[in-house]
Amino acid sequence: MSQFSYHWQLARRILREKGNRFAKPIIRLSVFGVSLGVVIMLIAIGVTSGYKQVIENKVVTMGQHIRISHYDHNYSFEQIPITLNDTLLNDIYSVPGVVSAQPFATKVGIIKTADQVEGIVLKGVDKAFDGRQFSRNLLEGDTLQLDDTVADNRIILSKRLADKLQIKVGDKVRTYFVQDPPRQRSFTLSGIYETGLPEYDTKFALVDLRHVQKLNDWDSTQVSGIEVLTRDYGMMDDVGSQLHNQIDINLKAETVKQIYPEIFDWIALFDTNVSVLLIITTCVCMITMMSIFFIIILEQTRLIGILKTLGMKTKHVVQTFLMVAGHTLVQGLLIGDLIGLGLGLVQQHFHLIKLNPDTYYVNYVPIEFHAGEVILLNIGVFVACMLVLVIPAWIISRKISPVSAVRFE
- What confidence tens digit (pLDDT) does each residue in 102-126 have? 999 999 999 998 888 999 999 999 9
Overall average pLDDT of the 71-82 stretch: 73
More confident residue, 168 or 23: 168
More confident residue, 314 or 356: 356
Alpha-carbon gap, residue 112 to 117, rounded angstroms: 5
Q: Tell me, yes or no, whether 233 lies in a domain.
A: no
Least confident interval from 40-49, 81-90, 289-298: 289-298
More confident residue, 71 or 239: 239
Is the model's pLDDT at 41 over the cut of 90?
yes
CA angle 212/218/223 to nearest 5° reads: 65
Alpha-carbon gap, residue 161 to 266, rounded angstroms: 25
Overall average pLDDT of the 343-363 stretch: 90
Residues 207 and 271 in one domain: no
Residues 382 and 268 in one domain: yes
Overall average pLDDT of the 405-409 stretch: 51
* 250-285 tens-digit pLDDT: 999 999 989 888 888 888 888 888 999 999 999 999
Is the model's pLDDT at 402 over the cut of 70?
no
Supply the pLDDT for residue 11: 67
Residue 127, amino acid: K
Is the model's pLDDT at 178 over the cut of 80?
yes
Q: Tell me, yes or no, whether 66 lies in a domain.
A: no
Burial class, 294, CB count within 10 angstroms (exposed 0-12 / middle 13-18 / buried 19+): middle
Residue closest to 296 by CA, chosen among 31, 15, 4, 29: 15
Supply the pLDDT for residue 115: 85
Is the model's pLDDT at 21 over the cut of 60?
no
DSSP 8-state secondary structure symbol assigned to residue 203:
T
Q: Tell me, yes or no, whether 91 lies in a domain.
A: no
* 199-211 tens-digit pLDDT: 889 889 999 999 9
Is the model's pLDDT at 405 over the cut of 60?
no
* Helices assigned H by DSSP within 351-370: 357-360
Residues 107 and 41 in one domain: no
Q: Tell me, yes or no, whether 85 lies in a domain.
A: no
Q: Tell me, yes or no, whether 94 lies in a domain.
A: no
Q: Tell me, yes or no, whether 246 lies in a domain.
A: no
Is the model's pLDDT at 243 over the cut of 80?
yes
Total H helices, total E strands in the chain: 15, 12
Residues 324 and 398 in one domain: yes
Residues 279 and 403 in one domain: yes
Give whichever of 27-31, 261-265, 284-288, 312-316 has the largest mean pLDDT.
284-288
Supply the pLDDT for residue 57: 83
CB atoms within 10 A of CB 338: 13
Long-range contacts formed by 134-138: CB under 8 A, 24+ apart: 134/61, 134/62, 134/193, 134/206, 136/57, 136/61, 137/58, 137/61, 137/62, 137/193, 137/194, 137/195, 138/191, 138/192, 138/193
Q: Which residues contact 230 (CB under 8 A, 6 or more apart)?
A: 65, 66, 97, 98, 99, 236, 239
Residues 204 and 339 in one domain: no
> Which residues are 133's β-sheet partners?
none
Count the domains in the chain.
2
Residue closest to 50 by CA, chosen among 398, 255, 353: 353
Overall average pLDDT of the 16-22 stretch: 57
Overall average pLDDT of the 75-94 stretch: 86
Supply the pLDDT for residue 83: 94
DSSP 8-state secondary structure symbol assigned to residue 180:
S
Burial class, 70, CB count within 10 angstroms (exposed 0-12 / middle 13-18 / buried 19+): middle
Of 199, 225, 251, which one is at a domain's C-terminal end?
A: 225
Report pTM: 0.83
Q: Tell me, yes or no, whether 147 lies in a domain.
A: yes
Residues 317 and 374 in one domain: yes
Q: Tell me, yes or no, whether 80 lies in a domain.
A: no
* DSSP string across 21-36: TTHHHHHHHHHHHHHH
- % residues pLDDT > 90 (the chain): 53
Supply the pLDDT for residue 10: 66
Supply the pLDDT for residue 271: 85
Residues 324 and 217 in one domain: no
Of 225, 241, 275, which one is at a domain's C-terminal end?
A: 225
First to last CA, the chain: 32
Question: What is the domain extent for residue 25?
Answer: 3-58+264-407
Residues 37 and 143 in one domain: no
Residues 51 and 135 in one domain: no
Residues 218 and 128 in one domain: yes
pLDDT classification of 322: cutoffs 50, 70, 90: confident
* Torsion from C-alpha of 165, 171, 177, 183, nearest 10 degrees: -150
Supply the pLDDT for residue 362: 87
Residue closest to 187 by CA, chosen among 225, 144, 222: 144
Least confident interval from 5-9, 168-172, 277-281, 334-338: 5-9
CB atoms within 10 A of CB 159: 17
Q: What is the mean pLDDT of the chain?
A: 86
Q: Which residues contact 385 (CB under 8 A, 6 or more apart)?
A: 34, 285, 286, 289, 325, 329
pLDDT classification of 23: cutoffs 50, 70, 90: low
Tell me phi and psi for residue 218, to 5 degrees. Answer: -105, 160
Residues 270 and 135 in one domain: no
Supply the pLDDT for residue 293: 80
